[in-house]
Amino acid sequence: MNGKFAQEAAKPGSAFVGAQGADLIRIFAIRHEDRTVANDNTVRINQLTLQIEPFRFRHHFAKCRVDILEHLDGT
């Protein structure tokens, strides 16, 4: 196939650009949008219940709307 369809590049060099400043962890994640945190500070996604840990500026997130990012490695 390469012998039949290959063509020389119009310009020398690489066509790839760096991903400087891009948040690749967020880009390459499955996004489960707009979930509501339950009164027990948990969020359900598929068959999984996730517990949200308290933060120093907020003890609970009940009734908050959140986005969940599921990474390709399952985390």
**pLDDT digit string (tens) for 31-51?**
887 899 999 999 998 888 999
Q: Report phi then psi at 48, rounded to 5.
A: -115, 135
| Residue type (1 letter), 31 | R
pLDDT of residue 23: 87
54 versus 49: which is more confidently predicted?
Answer: 49
